[in-house]
Amino acid sequence: MSINFYKDSAKKLVDPCLFSEIAMTHAKKIFDDGNSTTIKGDNKPSQIRKFYDELVRYNDIVKVDKNKFDECLPLVHMLIPKVAYAHGRKTVTQSFVEFIGNLVKSINDAKDLSVATQFFESFVAFYKFYKPKDN
């Protein structure tokens, strides 16, 4: 599932449903995939939170100094191999791996990083709604 942040990409106008309906749809799909009887594995909320916290850290750095974006972008892209490793350890599902990959690939500038971080925050909230206990 690709992630499109903007209603108008040229003007960078955020889709008004991004943090509600779209985040909820992604969270529900990833929750359902983790609880499917045909898909092995589960998404550990602590692992999801770890990836969110890392993205927040990079966003905070860029908020303080927009010139740091070019330094942070390779580190943001490091989330892709890190989530692959977590998948290998069976702490996240393939659908979460794809979610992180799509999220990271959608980040091209400081505004995208900020929107991606807010989107991920909404995703985490909805995921916790679907999976209230941290097993």
Backbone dihedral region of 6: left (phi > 0), alpha (psi from -120 to 50 degrees) or beta?
Answer: beta
Alpha helices in the chain (DSSP H): 23-34, 45-64, 69-77, 79-88, 94-105, 110-130
Per-residue pLDDT at 35: 78
Dump pLDDT digits (tens) for 63-103.
999 999 999 999 999 999 999 999 999 999 999 999 999 99
Dump pLDDT digits (tens) for 22-77.
999 999 999 998 876 555 568 888 999 999 999 999 999 999 999 999 999 999 99
pTM, two decimal places: 0.91
Q: Are 75 and 58 in contact (CB under 8 A)?
A: yes
Q: How far from chain centre, in Å, is Cα 60? A: 16
99/120 Cα distance (integer angstroms): 10
User: For residue 15, which amino acid is it?
Assistant: D
User: For residue 132, which amino acid is it?
Assistant: P
Q: Are 27 and 129 in contact (CB under 8 A)?
A: yes
